[in-house]
Amino acid sequence: MPLEWSSSPPELLLVVDRASALPLRAQLEHGLRDAIRTGRLDVGERLPSSRELARTLGLSRGLVQECYAQLRSEGYLVTRPGSATRVAAGAAATPGLPRQRNEAPHLVADFRWGVPDLGTFPVRDWLWATREAARAMPNSALDYGDPRGSAVLREVLAGYLRRVRAAAVDPGHILVCNGYAQGLGLALGVLADAGVRTVAFEDPGSPATIGAAASAAGMRAVPVPVDERGIDVDGLAATGARAVVVTPAHQWPTGVALAPERRLALIEWARGHDAIIIEDDYDAEFRYDREPVGALQGVAPDRVVSLGTVSKSLAPALRIGWMLCPPGLVEPLTARKYRNDRGTPTLDQLALAGLIQSGRFDRHLRRMRATYASRRTALVAVLAEHAPEVAVTGLAAGFHAVAHLPVGVDEGQVVAARTRSVGLYGMSACRASRTDEPARLVLGFGNVGVRAIADGIAAVPDLLTGRPRDTRR
C-alpha cells in the first residue's frame, strides 16, 4: 500500500553531483527512474512538489518540472488536476528485483500452538489505558528511566502476582523485559558470567528456543525427561547442570503439573547444587479443571527466576514481560538489561499498569477463559465424533491439547495435512531427539474458532486414525 502523507510534502532521498559531466536534469531523471524500478518508490506513492524538490536539491523549479514531465511521458509518473504527482500504476519494479510477498496459504483451521485469540485483543481498553497513561505521566517518565522498568508497573505487578500467583514479590526485585526470549537470554547470560556452564531443560519442551539462548550465552543445554509427574529430578541431578528451565504449573507441551514431591525435590536440588531454577510461567492465567497452581517462585524466591509475559493473556506483539529475580541476581540482571537495550518502552508499561489497576485486565481474562473453555469442549467433541481412537490429554489448562495418535499412524504424514488446508503440528519439534515416535500432535486452539475447529478435524479423520478416507462425505 502506498504511503499517505499529511499536507506537508513527503521527503525523498535523491543525490545530484554537480561535478559530474552528466547534466543535472539527466541525473534527476535517472535517480527517479531507478527509485521506481527498484521498488523504493511504490505504485501510487506521492512525490514531493516540484517546488519542494527543487528547494531540497538546490535546483531550479523549472528543471524539476521538466524532469517530471519527461517521466510522465515515459509512463513512470501520473498527475491529475488537484492532486499530487504520483508513481503511475504501470511503473512496475524491475523483473530482476521482485517484491517479496510472503502470503500464507489460506487454511480452514490452523492449530498452531502458543498463539492466543488475536481477534479478541481488547483494543478499546488498551487505547484507553494508553491515553490515560500519556495524560497522567510526568515529564520525567519520558527519560530513559530505571532499566528495571517503570516503578509504577513493578508495583502493580507485585500486587497482581502476589494475588493470582502466590508469588513472593518485592517490586525492587522485578525486572521488566521484552518478552520471554529476552528474559531467558538475560538470565542465562548472567548465570554464564557467574560460571554456570550447563543448563538443563524439560524433554519434551522447547529445545530450539532454550538451545539457541544457551548457545548465545556460551552454555551447553541438556535435556531431562518428563513423565506424568513432571521433570525427573534424579535425572536432572545426574546432568551436572546448575540451572534448569521448567514449566511447573502446566508443563509445555504435555500439560502435566509438577507433582508436589517433585516441586520440593527440585528446590532441594537447587539449594544442594547452588543452582538456579528458571520458571516459565507461560499460561498461568488459564485454568479449567483444577485449582490454580501457585508459582514455584513463591516457595523459593532465593533460587527461582520466574518469567511471565502478556504474550498469552493479551498478545505477543506487545513484547512486555517480567522477571522475578532472586535478590543476588537483581544487580547483574539489571546491568545486562541496560547494556542490552536501555529499557522497555515506558508508555506501554504504564498502559499495562493502568489496564491491571482498572480491573479491565481481569475482565479480559475472565472473558478469554470462557472462550478457550468452549473451544476446548468443541475440540474434544469433534475428535470423539470423527476420530474416537485418538486420546486427548493436557486439557486442564492453557489453550493447547496433546493428541495421542494410534499405533501405526505416521506423525509426519499427519502434519502433511496442510495439503488439505489444515495446519497440524507434531510433538517431534518439542523433543530434543526430534523423534516422531510415539506419534503425537500438539493442537493449539487459542486462535481457532469453534466452527474452524469442527471443519478442520472433519477434514482429516483418516490421517488421525489411519482408517481409509470416507469419500462419501
Are 176 and 308 in contact, with CB atoms under 8 Å apart? no
Least confident piece of the model among 135-144, 333-342, 410-419: 410-419
Q: What is the pLDDT of residue 102?
A: 55
Render pLDDT for 4-16 as a digit per residue (tens, 0 to 9). Answer: 444 455 678 888 8
Q: Whose CA is closest to 309, among 287, 284, 327?
A: 284
pLDDT average, residue stretch 21-41: 90
SS3 276: strand
Instruction: Tell me if residue 3 falls in helix, strand or coil.
Output: coil
Say if residue 143's pLDDT is above 70. Answer: yes
The DSSP-derived string for 409-444 is --HHHHHGGGGGTEE--BGGGGSTT----S-EEEEE
DSSP state letters, 115-157: ---GGG--HHHHHHHHHHHHHH--GGGGS---TT--HHHHHHH
Strands (E), 313-363: 321-324
pLDDT in tens, 27-36: 999 999 998 9
pLDDT tens, position by position, 251-285:
999 999 999 999 999 999 999 999 999 999 987 77
**What are the tens digits of pLDDT across the range 297-311?**
999 999 999 999 999
**pLDDT (0 to 100) of residue 101:** 53
Strand partners, 322: 176, 308
Q: Which of 394, 396, 391 is nearest to 373 (CA)?
A: 396
Query: CATH top-level class for 122-360?
Result: alpha beta
What are the start-end ranges of the H helices in 247-329? 260-272
Is the pLDDT reported for residue 2 higher than 60? no
| CATH class of this structure's domain 24-87 | mainly alpha
CB 24, CB 16: distance < 8 Å: yes
The pLDDT of residue 151 is above 60: yes
Q: Examine the pLDDT at 71 and tell me if it is beyond 60.
A: yes
Q: Please answer whether residues 54 and 16 qualify as being in contact, where contact means their C-beta atoms are separated by less than 8 angstroms.
A: no
Q: Torsions phi, psi of 274, nearest 5?
A: 50, 50
CA dihedral angle for residue 347, residue 353, residue 359, residue 363, rounded to 10 degrees: 70
To the nearest 10°, report the CA torsion of 109, 111, 115, 116: 60
Across the chain, mean pLDDT equals 91
Lowest average pLDDT, out of 8-12, 133-137, 351-355, goes to 8-12
Looking at residues 209-238, what average pLDDT do you find? 97
DSSP count for the chain of H helices, then E strands: 15, 15
pLDDT above 90 (res 338): yes
Q: Which residue has the higher pLDDT, 288 or 86?
A: 86
Residues 47 and 83: beta-carbon distance below 8 Å: no
The residue assigned the cell 515529564 is: 139
> Does the pLDDT at position 100 exceed 60?
no
Lowest mean pLDDT among 33-42, 182-191, 238-247: 33-42
Identify the sign of the CA torsion 306, 312, 316, 319. Answer: negative
pLDDT tens digits, residue range 378-430? 999 999 999 999 999 998 888 999 999 999 999 999 998 787 899 999 999 99
CB atoms within 10 A of CB 215: 12
pLDDT at 5: 45
pLDDT at 80: 80
Comparing CA positions, the residue from 17, 110, 75 lying closest to residue 445 is: 110
Task: Determine the straight-line distance between the first and last CA of the chain, rounded to whole angstroms.
Answer: 42
**212 pLDDT exceeds 70?**
yes
Could you tell me which CATH number the domain at 109-115+363-465 has? 3.90.1150.10
User: Which pLDDT score, from 0 to 100, does residue 65 have?
Assistant: 92
Q: How far is CA 405 from CA 69, 197, 412, 431, 452, in A?
A: 67, 38, 12, 16, 21
Predicted TM-score of the model (pTM)? 0.84
The length of the chain in residues reads 473
What is the DSSP code (8-state) at residue 190?
A: H
Return d(Cα 304, Cα 294) in angstroms, integer. Answer: 13
Phi/psi of residue 392, nearest 5 degrees: -125, 130
Non-local CB neighbours of 284 within 8 Å, separated by 6+ positions: 164, 165, 249, 250, 292, 295, 308
Strand duo 77-78 + 86-87: pairing? antiparallel
The domain segmentation of the chain, as residue ranges, is 24-87, 109-115+363-465, 122-360
Per-residue pLDDT band at 93 (split at 50, 70, 90): low
